[in-house]
Structure 1
């Protein structure tokens, strides 16, 4: 498939077999058009208006569930944990604390809960998939409060969105932001923001990047999907974000994803990832969710495939989205990390509300 876009300084086409771009302006003369890992593309212009395919269903790495799968899911009824799985809610780690003070050359991450992080990088303050609401559509109220008060946030320089599911794209939270806040969004999602009067929206395809204040934001593939209404399945893209500081330090925000081949490719294209923010929850029953949600063991494996030096778990302990016991993701990710022989200090298993500074 070839994407349509306004002419820019770099021509980007999509490989139909892998969904990877080849920047024809950056390839060496002897590089063929199907080079699996071409150089990183030139930054796209901020806020450009682009034309996209009507559907991104061809980017799925696994078929969406059919009628038989829905019937089995309804028959088994494994939607939420039983009483035993919920009794540990009071034990969920929740330690709100003031955000650390950092300089422009320091990276710090603070976990507000679920997939919402405050990332300080290159002098910018970036929110990932911000959800400060107590409740989202179709899901019980959050079981841990937001770890960072909205009033305690510094000025937000940018927002990155991984996809349009309600637990990652929360309109009540976004309405708290100034309408000129720069937003980095997946391909096909800018119209949603513009209809809500956001004025600085940059939407990107996989393997494309843009720059703001010296920090580069690259949109990378994920094993997931998108849907917000009954009629918009896969009408916008889904993925994760590589944030690269001017000094080369890198943070990877995975968004929502299952395990698969993309992690090795991301690691090869963006070597030297210093920290991976990885989802570890919402994975049970496995037959239903393995294609789109990592379990803790998957997350550790993916971190190693990325070549990331550290991992911070997320997407657990905030909303009850599936059937595993609420504390199980933390127990399993610690065990998987130890079994992999990785240094304990490189697993940043933060409580909700806590922060860590990357030296």
Structure 2
């Protein structure tokens, strides 16, 4: 039976009758996945970080302390971010499980621990989800969060509402690209990303993927989710206004011939940062799961090189430890 996109609108170029698509042509050719897996296995990739996993964790992880009352952002690891704006707490793409996988015994294993336990989180107002891949949408984590914070509002791209409701969520809103919702005085806008979606072999691109812009009177924060580099991303500040804060993904880029369409590398993240006007930014999507061929610490070396080669003033691009925070006090527009 042919799949049917219940949200299909022929006026939107990212809509298809059977799902969704990117605005920029491209993607994997037939046989690319098999070639990548064979090359990866033959080369013994990914390799451990320099000094080993324990040394990497000691250097780049700390327990997150939730304190203060200023606008603040904590990086909790990979794409999980805790944002405090106007006294409200927003959590992005929460994954607290040991694996980014539907299985407890297989799939990418967590190499650094969560920055805190779910029981240590403050009372959440909102959870935002970018797409349904297992390193961004984890059923065990979401079920625990929904049970712990029963009134939390959950914002997702088209196609993920029923998935959340089956876990017990009471307040779920699905948005298309460029749709916005105002919740407790904050504006949430789903924005384009260049990626894809799939949780089973039968649902490829049936659900939408997106980034999120979250706005208060003082801040405009962009959480891209997963995305390859595309000039379409520049339409986000053009349409919504200059960004004051951005979480730029830098990991899962090797080999570039295979990963580039769906994941930015550190050089592209720096290029995008410059094109955006150097907003306060920090790198994410690294340091937790080995999803591609680079080691856990390679994105940092590449990022440092890219910043030193292309930017004179890098004070607004801050690398955080897992669990570390940035205060946004006096950093608004």
Output the TM-score relative to the length of structure 2: 0.87
Query: How far apart, in 1, do the equivalents of 2:195 and 2:287 lie?
Result: 20
User: In structure 2, what is the equivalent of residue 112 of structure 1?
Assistant: 76
Closer, same or farther in 2 for the Cα pair 1:196/1:66, shift >3 Å?
A: same
CA root-mean-square deviation: 2.4
* Alignment size in residue pairs: 314
Confirm whether residue 91 of structure 1 aligns to residue 61 of structure 2: no
Corresponding residue to 1:159 among 127, 147, 153: 127
* Contact 1:274–1:310, Cα closer than 8 Å, also in 2: yes
Query: How far apart, in 2, do the equivalents of 1:241 and 1:77 lie?
Result: 33
Confirm whether residue 305 of structure 1 aligns to residue 289 of structure 2: no
Further displaced range: 339-348 or 55-64 = 55-64
Query: How far apart, in 1, do the equivalents of 2:320 and 2:44 lie?
Result: 24
1:78-131, Cα deviation, whole Å (9 max, x unpaired): 5973546564422241122412312xxx42110111100110012210000001
SS of the residue corresponding to residue 251 of structure 1 reads strand
SS of the residue corresponding to residue 345 of structure 1 reads coil
Confirm whether residue 315 of structure 1 aligns to residue 285 of structure 2: yes
Corresponding residue to 1:74 among 37, 40, 57: 37
* Contact 2:212–2:222, Cα closer than 8 Å, also in 1: yes
Confirm whether residue 58 of structure 1 aligns to residue 21 of structure 2: yes
Corresponding residue to 1:213 among 184, 207, 228: 184
Query: How far apart, in 1, do the equivalents of 2:117 and 2:265 lie?
Result: 29
User: In structure 2, what is the equivalent of residue 190 of structure 1?
Assistant: 161
SS of the residue corresponding to residue 296 of structure 2 reads coil
Corresponding residue to 2:205 among 208, 218, 234: 234
Query: How far apart, in 2, do the equivalents of 1:175 and 1:185 lie?
Result: 15
User: In structure 1, what is the equivalent of residue 91 of structure 2?
Assistant: 127
Query: How far apart, in 2, do the equivalents of 1:80 and 1:275 lie?
Result: 37
Query: How far apart, in 1, do the equivalents of 2:327 and 2:34 lie?
Result: 47
User: In structure 1, what is the equivalent of residue 263 of structure 2?
Assistant: 293
SS of the residue corresponding to residue 77 of structure 1 reads helix
Deviation at 1:238, TM superposition (A): 0.5
Query: How far apart, in 2, do the equivalents of 1:55 and 1:189 lie?
Result: 15
* Contact 2:227–2:262, Cα closer than 8 Å, also in 1: yes
Closer, same or farther in 2 for the Cα pair 1:56/1:147, shift >3 Å?
A: same
Confirm whether residue 149 of structure 1 aligns to residue 117 of structure 2: yes
Output the TM-score relative to the length of structure 1: 0.81
Query: How far apart, in 2, do the equivalents of 1:166 and 1:150 lie?
Result: 18
Where do 5+ consecutive residues of structure 2 fail to align? none
Closer, same or farther in 2 for the Cα pair 1:321/1:127, shift >3 Å?
A: same
Closer, same or farther in 2 for the Cα pair 1:123/1:353, shift >3 Å?
A: same
* Contact 2:47–2:295, Cα closer than 8 Å, also in 1: no
Query: How far apart, in 1, do the equivalents of 2:114 and 2:48 lie?
Result: 24
Confirm whether residue 200 of structure 1 aligns to residue 171 of structure 2: yes
User: In structure 2, what is the equivalent of residue 28 of structure 1?
Assistant: none
Deviation at 1:206, TM superposition (A): 0.5
SS of the residue corresponding to residue 122 of structure 2 reads coil
Deviation at 1:251, TM superposition (A): 0.7
Query: How far apart, in 1, do the equivalents of 2:144 and 2:136 lie?
Result: 15
Query: How far apart, in 2, do the equivalents of 1:123 and 1:279 lie?
Result: 26
Corresponding residue to 2:314 among 338, 344, 354: 344
SS of the residue corresponding to residue 339 of structure 1 reads helix
* Contact 2:76–2:114, Cα closer than 8 Å, also in 1: yes
Query: How far apart, in 2, do the equivalents of 1:342 and 1:198 lie?
Result: 47
